[in-house]
Amino acid sequence: MRNLAERAVETAKVRGASYADCRIIYTRQQDFTVRNGKVSDLDQGEDIGFGVRVIADGAWGFACSPHLNAENIDKVAADAVRIAKASARLKNEDVRLAPEPIVDERWQTPIVEDPFLIPLEEKLGLLFQLDKILRKDARIASSESSMSFKSEHQWMATSEGSFIDQLLIRSGVGYSVTAVGNQEIQTRSFPNSFRGQYMSLGYELIRSLQLLENAERVREEAIALLTAPTCPSGKRDIIIDGTQMALQIHESVGHATELDRVLGMEANYAGLSFATTEKMNQFQYGSEIVNLVCDSTVPAGLATLGWDDDGVRAQRWHLVQNGRFVGYQFNRELAHTIGATRSSGNNRAMGWSHIPIVRITNLSLMPGNWELDDLLADTEGGLYLETNRSWSIDQWRLNFQFGVEAAWEIKGGKRGQLYKNANYQGITPQFWRSCDAICNEKYWTLWGVHNCGKGQPGQVAEMSHGSSPTRFRQVEVGIGN
């Protein structure tokens, strides 16, 4: 693989590239779903191909192919250079890459149990067990349990002389159950919605999540929601659970601090950001207890890796420190626009067939010092909101509205009345400034987002967000109810 990757780089240089890299990627994937007592997905797949990225005449070009042979590598490298030269017809200045040390390294996701070595029968057996519990009531219209495993082996060579051999492994599992009745459709999920929890771990993730122990409770909550009252409208103090906090962080901080969208490169599609560059170090993003940290080195994070697709070593840094906006997520190309001397290591591509773009890495709200029981006791009349149901945010990442699967009124220090169809809405900085309590590390978990879409052509990336139950004051809830 090394020879082929280096051949692509050499060909691109001969054709006129001032910079070139080649990534060859072999992917294995298993996806299983049991739905209403039947296997509705049992797919095993593999994929291999390569992508060549070049700078020629000061502009980017990219071409790729699944045909991995020397002749085609030469052709694709030449195509990439031709495309770059076409790009150069409309540029303001030449692309400048922040310097990066030359490396020759290997990195692999640390795992305990290789998920691909676990027998298929064992995996399906667990899903059938879950499905049986989930469907044990006539009001259940559908149940769905799933597992996914992915290994991605990448060999990357650059014209600067770096070579990186990297193996990333990710596992995911989860279930959801939908109850129908009383003119309602209600769903509950575990451990999270949208296919559950995903981490850069092996099969030990599946064994650790108490899937069977929670199935009955989850089913009964879905049924209880059918007759629960609708979440009332108005302003309330709210405590948001860790799973929903993960998406709150993702949408209102993660995407807002991607430097490419701040600079207008996503303007036609995903949008822009209110967190413009003159605000850095000057802007109060949240209250003083809010610390938001990027970390591509944290164990088991979905974006945990050795090097990004720019060949930049994984790092840890603050985006928001004591409430103040202090950092961005960016790549080698954009580092100079904010005066940075080195990339933060956020450039990642979906497989071999896409060009790397700025992606959110693992981004977490650091834990506070509250016990959950104390926080509930201190939030009389508030709402406890759990598990994402829907999400929406404007193109400047300001006005967001999230729906959750379940909400409870807090009464006497406990979760009391269950409400259905709960949602909440806010404006990003005002909302984060209303944060006044965060539960401690005992309640803190990295939650995987495995379906983050961005870019054109569209790319999906994975990342994790660490969070614990967090309180926000006087938030608008029950919109449209």
> Which residues in the 313-352 window bind other proteins by CB under 8 A?
none
Question: 408 near 419, Cβ under 8 Å?
Answer: yes
Nearer to other proteins, 190 or 444 (CB): 190
Q: Of the candidates 3, 14, 66, 411, which one interacts with other proteins according to CB under 8 A?
A: 66
Residue 16 lies near other proteins (rule: CB under 8 A): no
Binding-residue total with other proteins (CB under 8 A): 81
Residue 83 lies near other proteins (rule: CB under 8 A): yes
Residue 456 lies near other proteins (rule: CB under 8 A): yes
Q: Of the candidates 13, 16, 74, 87, which one interacts with other proteins according to CB under 8 A?
A: 87
Residue 194 lies near other proteins (rule: CB under 8 A): no
> Which residues in the 209-268 window bind other proteins by CB under 8 A?
263-268
Nearer to other proteins, 80 or 173 (CB): 80
HSE-CB of 215 using CA atoms within 13 angstroms: 21
Residue 117 lies near other proteins (rule: CB under 8 A): no
Whole-number minimum distance, CB 90 to other proteins, in Å?
A: 5
> Which residues in the 24-63 window bind other proteins by CB under 8 A?
33, 35, 38-49, 51, 59-63
Nearer to other proteins, 227 or 322 (CB): 227
Nearer to other proteins, 61 or 345 (CB): 61
> Which residues in the 391-450 window bind other proteins by CB under 8 A?
391-396, 398-399, 401, 403, 421, 423, 425, 427
Whole-number minimum distance, CB 125 to other proteins, in Å?
A: 9
Residue 142 lies near other proteins (rule: CB under 8 A): yes
> Which residues in the 357-396 window bind other proteins by CB under 8 A?
357, 389-396
Question: What is the spatial distance between Cα 140 and Cα 216, in angstroms, rounded to a whole number?
Answer: 12
Nearer to other proteins, 343 or 421 (CB): 421
> Which residues in the 165-184 window bind other proteins by CB under 8 A?
178, 180, 183-184
Whole-number minimum distance, CB 373 to other proteins, in Å?
A: 31
